[in-house]
Amino acid sequence: MTEFIDLETQDGVRMTWNVFPGTKQEAANCVIPVSAIYTPLKPIPNVLVLPYAALRCRICRAILNPFSIVDYAAKIWICPFCFQRNHFPQHYASISEDNLPAELFPQYTTIEYESSPDVGPSVPPVFLFVIDTCMVEEELGHLKSSLAQAIELLPEKSLVGLITFGNYVQVLGRCRSLIYLRDRRR
């Protein structure tokens, strides 16, 4: 149990099983869906910063990570989210079990990538609030107050999305800028 607590302390992530299913069959057999609770903006001391762009899955855009399955002989990796087989680019040609990129080391489950003109502009942080609106009126008042406090604490150029669900699910059309949401609240 302590290893799960250590993982949560390290990355600010808690998962239902703390593993990804390794195959499509294992994923289909899971009774409880794979899910995660993520603590955004958790300060992580000594986070590794890589000077190149992240290697993304061509289907779901997930990033190469220690949970990815790697075939060193064929120079491919399998995305743990959609099970898509992805080829490594040419600059990963020397990859082997003895010569791993930082993204595949188990201790580097959280990595940052430097933004440069070659890589592209830095994307502002995105926050998505998912809210269950099936509650009594008094609780809705407390929820509104809590949301107002949370919005005040977000970084200035953040993008914010809102999903509410009760009898129906509603999604705010696009992520709005934090400045827009703060102005609307007043």
**Residue written as token pair 């000594």:** 46
Same domain, 98 and 36: no
Q: Mind listing the pLDDT tens digit for each residue in 140-178?
A: 889 889 888 988 888 888 888 888 887 777 776 554 444
Pairing of strands 126-132, 159-165: parallel
Of 84, 118, 152, the domain-final residue: 118
Q: Mind listing the pLDDT tens digit for each residue in 126-136?
A: 888 888 888 88
Same domain, 50 and 113: yes
Same domain, 100 and 152: no
Same domain, 34 and 55: no
The number of residues making up the chain comes to 186
**Secondary structure class of 137 (helix, strand, coil):** helix
**Residue written as token pair 């680019």:** 89
Whole-number pLDDT of residue 178: 47
The count of structural domains within the chain is 3
pTM confidence score? 0.56
Determine the structural domain holding residue 90 and report its residue range. 46-118
Structure tokens at 107: 């201790």
How far is Cα 181 from Cα 186, in angstroms, rounded to an integer? Answer: 9
Same domain, 74 and 109: yes
